[in-house]
Amino acid sequence: MKKDSSFGVKQITITAVLLAICIISQVFKNLSIFVTGPIVNLCLALAVVMAGLPCAIILSIITPITAYFIAASPVMNAVPLIIPFIAAGNIVFVLAIHFLLKKEMAKPAKRGYSLICYVKAVLCALIKGAFMGLTISLWLLPTFIPAESPLRGKMPVFQTTFSIFQFITALVGFIYFFIIMVAVNHSKKNNEA
């Protein structure tokens, strides 16, 4: 009998599907961070719950790399060192979900999840936004974008993007996540009946 923590075809398949969804969403990255961001955060959360932490960490690392190759923003081109920091922010996010939220996700209520579950989701989003805000917005970008660069004038936009907007897109991703998880659990109950 296999354990839930085992790694196999199911986890690889789920991770591959979630990566494909992330890549498709990244094609639209230049339209708005509010298109791609919530979808990537949704996929990261689904990876934790449906495929396990190792798969979520792999997805966390791959998504900023694919974003760079698909639709690199000017700030990514100017400061490529941002890529591992985005990956680190994603890893912090999936670790927060794994340790704060995953246990509650295993036992949903009849019509949804408990209030504490939603509060923990907000906390996970806040942790990601704070981590990226401190590392990218307050340290990396001011340190590595030269004073004479035309990108310096856009620093407030970049700093907002890699802090407050990370928090907001993680929250929106969680809204999608809870809708999907309630539907999945409702479907499981109907199939068992």
CATH code assigned at 52: 1.10.1760.20
pLDDT at 1: 37
- How does pLDDT run across 138-161, given as a tens digit for each residue? 999 999 999 899 999 999 999 999
How far is Cα 17 from Cα 43, in angstroms, rounded to an integer? Answer: 9
Q: Alpha-carbon dihedral of residues 53, 55, 58, 63, nearest 10 degrees?
A: -110
Report the range of poorest mean pLDDT among 34-38, 42-46, 180-184: 180-184
Instruction: Please report which helix (H) or strand (E) contains residue 144, including its range.
Output: helix 141-144
Report yes or no on 122 lying in a domain: yes
Q: What is the residue-averaged pLDDT of the chain? A: 91
Section 19-27 average pLDDT? 94
Report yes or no on 102 lying in a domain: yes
Report yes or no on 4 lying in a domain: no
- Range(s) of the domain holding residue 137: 9-187
Section 30-37 average pLDDT? 87
- CA-closest candidate to residue 18, choices 180, 175, 188, 165: 180
pLDDT at 42 over 80: yes
What's the predicted TM-score (pTM) here? 0.91
The residues near 156 (Cβ < 8 Å, ≥ 6 apart) are none
Report yes or no on 75 lying in a domain: yes
Between 187 and 95, name the one with better pLDDT.
Answer: 95
Quick count: other Cβ atoms within 10 Å of Cβ 59?
A: 26
**Proportion of the chain above pLDDT 70, given as a percent:** 92
- How does pLDDT run across 44-68, given as a tens digit for each residue? 999 999 999 999 999 999 999 999 9
pLDDT at 114: 86
Report yes or no on 107 lying in a domain: yes
How many domains does the chain divide into? 1
